[in-house]
């Protein structure tokens, strides 16, 4: 069951969703939604009753000190609305935890909520551990079952077969209900896959900027990403085997990326750079 407040009519809303757990290597995807919630001053509008979907022995409630009063915070999925995004439209942010049970009902309840409020697209975010070097740009793959999105070159059809998480279930049910959906996944270096993974978070933010045609304030994430990379550099420098392994990953990725050094790829990167700067050449917020 969802508990929600009175919500005014939304403006052409797009939905961004991420879930802690199996879908969220390095907690990079849930960190994106948390970042957007803060920089866009999103308002909490709904939450799911945790009793319906979560095993409390797996996702335990937390005791917090709130102004001298001890309170319980229950694990759940929350829905926020950002009216101050740079998109010129409302953004629905779903920030949650992968449920323990009743996945189809859980996904259906979320989709009912956003579709009834005029959602035009669902974008799910994820992170997976992969054989990629931390010293190179984090790859982000975009997949969709929506024919129009694929024909526009925005996404490709996924060829993955195997176990899936709630992100996969939500996307598949959205497709069945004719809500265009797209899934963006960041590849997190498996040898440095512990949370947080701000470089992967930054890569997902960059993918959203290109997809949505907007500039997202990412100053804090940029600084955290640089600090994270320096830390992993130090780890690699202290272990010859790790350093050798990273070098082999760098060689493999550099070779694979050679065809990408095309005019179109360079133009896209330059366009993103320009969006980050104001007309007077100064950085934009």
pLDDT value at residue 18:
98
> How confident is the model over 97-126, as pLDDT tens digits?
999 999 999 999 999 999 999 999 999 999
- Residue 189 and residue 231 in contact, taking contact as beta carbons nearer than 8 Å: no
pLDDT value at residue 258:
61
> How confident is the model over 245-255, as pLDDT tens digits?
999 999 988 88
pLDDT value at residue 263:
52
For the chain, which residues make up each domain, given as ranges?
Answer: 2-275
Secondary structure of 242-274 as H, E, C letters: HHHHHHHHHHHHHHHHHHHCCHHHHHHHHHHHH
For residue 129, give both structure tokens. 């551990």
pLDDT value at residue 4:
75
pLDDT value at residue 54:
95
Spatial neighbors of 171 by CB under 8 A, at least 6 apart, are 122, 124, 145, 181, 182, 183
Using CA atoms, how far apart are residues 180 and 149, in angstroms rounded to an integer? 8
Angle between helices 28-39 and 198-212 (to 10 degrees): 60
CATH class of residue range 2-275: alpha beta
Ranges of the chain whose pLDDT falls below 50: 262, 279-285
- Residue 221 and residue 35 in contact, taking contact as beta carbons nearer than 8 Å: yes
pLDDT value at residue 276:
61
pTM, two decimals, is 0.88
């Amino acid at each position: 069951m969802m508990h929600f407040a009175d919500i005014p009519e939304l403006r052409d809303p797009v939905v961004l969703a991420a879930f802690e757990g199996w879908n969220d290597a390095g907690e990079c995807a849930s960190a994106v939604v948390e970042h957007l919630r803060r920089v866009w001053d999103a308002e909490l509008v709904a939450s799911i009753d945790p009793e319906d979907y979560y095993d409390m022995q797996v996702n335990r409630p937390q005791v917090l000190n709130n102004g001298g009063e001890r309170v319980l915070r229950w694990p759940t999925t929350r829905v926020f609305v950002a009216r101050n995004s740079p998109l010129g439209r409302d953004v629905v942010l779903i920030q949650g935890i992968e449920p323990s049970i009743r996945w189809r009902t859980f996904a259906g309840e979320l989709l009912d909520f956003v579709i009834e409020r005029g959602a035009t697209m669902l974008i799910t975010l994820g992170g997976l551990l992969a054989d990629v070097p931390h010293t190179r740009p984090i790859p982000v793959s975009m997949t969709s079952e929506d024919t129009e999105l694929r024909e526009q070159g925005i996404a490709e059809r996924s060829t993955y077969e195997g176990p899936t998480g709630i992100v996969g279930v939500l996307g598949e049910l959205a497709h069945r209900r004719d809500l265009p959906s797209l899934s963006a996944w960041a590849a997190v270096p498996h040898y440095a896959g512990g949370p947080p993974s701000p470089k992967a978070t930054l890569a997902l933010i960059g993918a959203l900027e290109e997809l949505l045609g907007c500039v997202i304030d990412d100053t804090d994430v940029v600084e955290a990403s640089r600090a994270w990379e320096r830390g992993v550099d130090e780890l690699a420098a202290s272990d010859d085997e790790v350093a050798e392994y990273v070098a082999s990953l760098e060689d493999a990725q550099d070779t694979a990326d050679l065809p990408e050094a095309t005019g179109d790829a360079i133009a896209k990167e330059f366009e993103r750079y320009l969006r980050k700067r104001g007309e007077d050449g100064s950085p934009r917020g």
